[in-house]
A = this chain, B = another copy of it.
Amino acid sequence: MKNFTFQSPTKFVFGRDTHRKAGQLVAALGAKKVMVLYGGGSAIQNGTLPVVLQSLDEAGLDYVSAGGVQPNPVSSFVYSAIEGARDEGVDFMLAVGGGSVIDTAKAVALGVPYPGDFLDFYRGKKVEEALPIGVVLTIPAAGSEGSPNTVITDESTHIKKGAAGECLRPKFAVLNPELTFTLSKYQSACGISDMMAHIFERYFTKTPENVVTDRLCEGLLLAIKDVAMRIIIDSEDYEAQAALMWAGMLAHNNLCGVGRDQDWGSHALAHQISALYDAAHGAALAVIFPAWMKYVYTEDIDMFARIAHNVWGVPESVNKEQMALDGIAVYEDFLRGIGMPTKLSQLDVPEDGIPEMVELAFALGNQTIGSFKRMTPTDVEAVYRLAL
């Protein structure tokens, strides 16, 4: 285990009706003027946003709201929200939505007190100051409600890039599983794929000996696997949605990543699919991760055999390589079972689009991608081809 620092100070307020507490949670933090960000209108239609705004009113808070954040959120929205927030004297960002809304709120929170271009932070500038952020989560997937991370697509280059800093961890996150009942099967399946991917990126490591984290990762994956089909069958299964919502946070607040090198190569590859072909993040991950696993499993066959047994139920055998391959196959079947694509063609990515994605993946001058296997452009092309 490597030395590490872990601090996850976010206050998680979990359960039925908890979104009614948003106003008092913001007020308790001393905020005066709130910017409420939301997405494509479902938060209005399903009644979440009106209840949240009412709770702000009841807490005596002044606010402005800005809707229309799109999946794979883009820089133009952020620029305009930063301007609006400055004009209005906003001192608190409240995200009502999923990962795209939260990541956008984090970008605005970074941009308001910063005199330069907020994208500087997504190009490597150290994150040190941001407006405080609160979350009312409506889509369990990205884990941004408990993470220090944000991902934004720079529209000028089509490059999807991340920034991170401890001040970007939300001060509170309201997690009411009832708010997920109106999600489509496809949205839920994308979320399931995304949160499993967050665990895989941390699980597959060359850092030796991290038995606690290994078992926590496997436990979370088992729990997600156990409830996934229940949610696809009945989106109003409260207990299953509750498990998924909590698992999604734990998958990405870095509890599952402490003390070890993490990979994040598959995320890098999936980001190019989303940036160029506007695929849902979770769907792009469902296409890339099985391909990546098939390409890299020989780096540590025992590790792949172990997850095959402990998570995917593959029987123990002396043939570890077969166990590893069977585990990947069961995972792929699981993804298909919940309605996810597992091939690039299902995302309308043509074979001749691969060179551009490879180029984009290395556009920032990086020599390799990932740490479990340090992939060169040749490796990355091979993974994309395995996903054809």
> Which residues of A approach B to under 8 Å, CB–CB?
1-18, 208-212, 214-216, 218-220, 222-223, 226-227, 239, 242-243, 246-247, 250, 255, 258-259
Contacts and interface: CB of A to CB of B under 8 A. Distances in A.
Given A3-B18, A4-B15, A7-B10, 20 more contacts: A1-B14, A1-B239, A2-B15, A3-B14, A3-B15, A3-B17, A5-B13, A6-B14, A7-B9, A9-B9, A208-B239, A209-B239, A209-B242, A212-B243, A212-B250, A215-B219, A215-B222, A216-B219, A216-B220, A218-B219
Given A216-B216, A216-B220, A219-B216, A211 B5 contact: no
A246 B242 CA distance: 26
Contacts of A210: 243
A13 B6 CA distance: 7
Contact of A14 (B11, B15, B215, B258): B258
Contacts of A226: 211
A215 B211 contact: no
Nearest to A216: B219
A3 B177 CA distance: 10
A255 B247 CA distance: 12
B209 A215 contact: no
A12 B7 contact: yes
Q: In the A-B complex, list the 10 residue pairs whose CB atoms are closest, starting with the nearest.
A: A3-B15, A215-B219, A219-B219, A9-B9, A209-B239, A7-B11, A212-B223, A215-B223, A1-B242, A211-B223
A267 to B, nearest CB: 23
A2 B16 CA distance: 9
Contacts of A1: 14-15, 239, 242-243, 246
Nearest to A250: B212
A229 B10 CA distance: 36
A11 to B, nearest CB: 4
A152 to B, nearest CB: 27
B14 A5 contact: yes
Contact of A211 (B4, B17, B208, B227): B227
Contacts of A7: 9-12
A227 B1 CA distance: 14
Contacts of A10: 7
A17 B215 CA distance: 26
Given A212-B250, A219-B218, A223-B211, A12 B6 contact: yes
19 contacts: A1-B14, A2-B15, A4-B15, A5-B11, A5-B13, A7-B10, A7-B12, A8-B8, A8-B9, A14-B258, A208-B239, A209-B239, A209-B243, A211-B226, A211-B243, A212-B223, A216-B216, A246-B258, A246-B259
Nearest to A247: B212
B5 A246 contact: no
Nearest to A248: B212
A215 B199 CA distance: 15
Contacts of A212: 219-220, 223, 243, 246-247, 250
Contacts of A246: 1, 212, 258-259
Contacts of A242: 1, 209, 259
A128 to B, nearest CB: 15
